[in-house]
Amino acid sequence: MCGIAGVARIDGGMLTPAADELLRDVACTLAHRGPDDERLLREDQVGLAFTRLSLVDPVGGGQPLVSEDGSVVLIANGEVYNHRELAASLPAGARFKTQSDCEVLLHLYQRDGLNFLDRVNGMIAVVLWDRKRGKLLFARDRFGIKPLFYHRNRERIVFASEIKALFADPATPRRLDWSGALADYGMSSAPALVHEPVNTWFEDIHLAPAATVMEIDLKDGATREHRYWSLPGAAADSDASDEEYIARYRDLLAESVRDCAMADAELGLFLSGGVDSSAVAALAGQSGLRTFSVLTGSTVLNGDAEWSHRAARLLGVPNEQILFDRDRVPGIEEWKNLLWLTETPLCSPEQFYKYELHRHARLRHPEIKGMLLGAAADEFNGGYAIGYAGGGDWDDFLANIGAMARRTSLDEQPRMAGWWEVSDLPLLKDAAVRGTRDDGFADPYDAFVAWKYRSLQQYNVWHEDRTAAGNSVEARVPFLDHRLVELVTSIPAARRANLLWDKRILREAMVGILPEELIRRPKVPFFHGEGQRHTYRTFTRMLAQGGDALLEEAFSSERAREFIHQDGVRESLRRLERDPENGSVEHLLRLVNLGLLERMTAELPVHPAAASKAPQPVTHPYADWEDAEEQIRELTLQRTPVDPEAVYAMRSDTVLACAPAQPGTWYLLVDGTCEFVLDEDEEPALTALLRSLDGETSLEKVLASAGLSLDGLRPQLEDVLDLGLVVEAAPKGAVRVR
């Protein structure tokens, strides 16, 4: 994980010594990506800057790398995992100056031209200068794991691993693309399958496309693109059995993890206790592999904290749980520093927690320079199938993603939408709305996978790169091995339900490698679902601190005031303060982030390496979950105090109901929707208490009348109070609205 950047004349002219200052500035901006070395090169039309994090050949692997004949110069960010195999395929006599995994790219280019990445397995962003041919090449790995941004005009092109480095160039525009950002489906979470290019969020800033080699002529700027890889579609048929697919998947994943564990420096691993990260931990085969987990109110309630502890014990690896107690709220400058590091309005609680995990690992264990992740297992292996099925099966999943594909088409042809509104029965087939569109996605599953391929680049690999890079750590993603993805995306359509429902291909592949309880543990979201309110409460407090300081700064620019409804945003924040689940803190954050980024581009913040740091993250060590659970809950969960003398009632929009056909089963309906089911046999005391609350009698008297003890009910009562399902009734004499 390094920083690469530079500038080149694309009008036939030459760079002057004035370019040296720009190279120094961009290298300084990217210092966090490569603290181990910095090198600059300016010759003729091209200037290159390289900052290095040394994981392979720490002594001799510096860049730029130059071919033996001096005709080709290269800088690269990332890893070529199969470099030894590729080197062995070169003609006899090929000579290497270093042990760097990236040097083989020079030889491959000289042999294969624009096809030089066809057999490369890895995650890379490459800038290559062909002196002899007068060409500048940009190239990125198949999934865009490693970034490369650029801005160009008629005279020159500037490029860098991060957008903020481009802003070191006075000639690069610094304008947020408000219209493009607000229209992005990812910002509004609209249910549509998007296949458009990745959004860079800033005007005239471009991202070199993944799986593509761009070739730029330095004489006139003429550019051509060579795409060397695309997602394969489903095979028409296959003689392979399900068991053979599973075995092949197991072998490829094991090989990918071994590749990603290749380093001359120590690696760590983020462990959630799910099958994805547990599989990587088991296949890495390193008994001393340090693992790191998030300990928050959300991960306590969704089970990740407990399961990561259990998984580490079962796998025999150490686990450090970084504690975010109920009082840990990101500070104003802390959030702005993270936002500038990630340079995306999609920055959210997930990025904060992951950044802090990397920060803890680097501070506590400075020898760790790489982090293995279980990320990206869901996108291609069916990890989202159950969620998108809405409680149904594979056919419901296909129907629902088909509706999302239709939504995308209707947005492009809105006049057709009426045909889907006039009847609850379908009158037209989806082919009618696709019309003449030739996107190659007649199969909604293919369209879904292509959307996930795009969203990986827009969100997942973007923030995994930045949160790691901000701590001088390289994130490694074994599930993004193109051989794995090719295998699962080429499964015949008729076989998908067997192999891809709830990641069956991965779960079955882990039989005999992982304990059964880890294999079968259901997928849970990082902080959504049960426990979401604890994360929402934290980030609501962050937005409200200092008298809504982040909001006010976000509103301070003229363009922000033009687009953002300030009163609406403020009132949304007030609602979240009253009820953490009364809205979406992520949507508020995205709008605030846009306003903050607008301010930052007007007055550039300090470089990430020079930014102020928050207090060092702390861990919460414990030997056994059951023994420590009550203390952990006390640290992480917000508790609403229970007053025995207070009068409580069900909230006005909440009803406790029982169907005559199901005696003993009670339903908590919120606004007419069933949110919780209570069984009298399993929770007799709580059910009896809720049935007895009348809004007129004190809790103490209600408990005495029902023969209940507050001590035994306190945790459950605190939970329903925290959820807002039970509220303190209005004072005596006041008029209560039911």
Single-letter amino acid code for the residue at 37: D
pLDDT tens-digit map of 155-180 = 999 999 999 999 999 999 999 999 99
Does the structure show a pLDDT above 60 at 467? yes
Report the C-alpha gap between 559 and 180 in whole angstroms: 14
Does the structure show a pLDDT above 90 at 585? yes
Q: Which of 144-153, 348-357, 718-727 has the lowest mean pLDDT?
A: 718-727
pLDDT band at 97 (very low <50, low <70, confident <90, very high): confident
Percentage of the chain lying above the pLDDT 70 cut: 97
Q: Establish whether the linkage from the previous residue to 64 is cis, with ω within 30° of 0.
A: yes
Average pLDDT on 553-576 reads 95
Average pLDDT over all residues of the chain: 92
Q: Identify any residues that bridge with 73 across adjacent strands, giving them in sequence order.
A: 66, 129
Q: Which of 97-101, 260-264, 591-595, 712-716 has the lowest mean pLDDT?
A: 712-716
Average pLDDT on 54-83 reads 87
pLDDT tens-digit map of 218-260 = 999 999 999 999 999 999 999 999 999 999 999 999 999 999 9
Q: What's the pLDDT score for residue 263?
A: 84
Average pLDDT on 655-675 reads 84
Average pLDDT on 522-544 reads 90
Name the strands in the sheet holding 266-270, side by side, starting at the edge strand that comes first in the sequence: 474-476, 368-372, 266-270, 290-295, 319-323, 618-619
Does the structure show a pLDDT above 80 at 58? no
For residues 52 and 445, the model is more confident at: 445
pLDDT band at 736 (very low <50, low <70, confident <90, very high): very low
Q: Reply yes or no on whether 2 is catalytic.
A: yes
Q: What's the pLDDT score for residue 735?
A: 41
Does the structure show a pLDDT above 70 at 432? yes
HEC string of 303-332 equals: CHHHHHHHHHHHHCCCEEEEECCCCCCCCH
pLDDT tens-digit map of 118-141 = 999 999 999 999 999 999 999 999
Contact 493, 443 (CB under 8 A): yes
pLDDT tens-digit map of 323-364 = 999 999 999 999 999 999 999 999 999 999 999 999 999 999
DSSP 457: I
Does the structure show a pLDDT above 50 at 641? yes
Strands (DSSP E) contained in 55-107 are 65-66, 72-80
Does the structure show a pLDDT above 80 at 527? no
Q: What's the pLDDT score for residue 433?
A: 85
The Cβ-side half-sphere exposure at 440, using a 13 Å CA radius, reads 10
Report the C-alpha gap between 25 and 49 in whole angstroms: 9
Q: Of 2, 102, 260, 347, which one is the catalytic site residue?
A: 2
Report the C-alpha gap between 713 and 686 in whole angstroms: 7
Q: What's the pLDDT score for residue 242?
A: 97
Does the structure show a pLDDT above 90 at 737? no
Q: What's the pLDDT score for residue 439?
A: 58
Q: Which of 67-71, 276-280, 635-639 has the lowest mean pLDDT?
A: 635-639
pTM: 0.91
Structure token digits, residue 306: 């407990």
pLDDT tens-digit map of 566-578 = 999 999 999 999 8
The Cβ-side half-sphere exposure at 69, using a 13 Å CA radius, reads 9
Q: What's the pLDDT score for residue 435?
A: 56
Does the structure show a pLDDT above 70 at 42? yes
Strand-pair category, 266-270 with 368-372: parallel
Report the C-alpha gap between 512 and 297 in whole angstroms: 33
Which of the residue ranges 287-291, 438-442, 511-515 has the most confident prediction, judged by mean pLDDT? Answer: 511-515
Average pLDDT on 256-271 reads 93
Does the structure show a pLDDT above 70 at 438? no
Q: What's the pLDDT score for residue 733?
A: 44
Average pLDDT on 709-716 reads 84
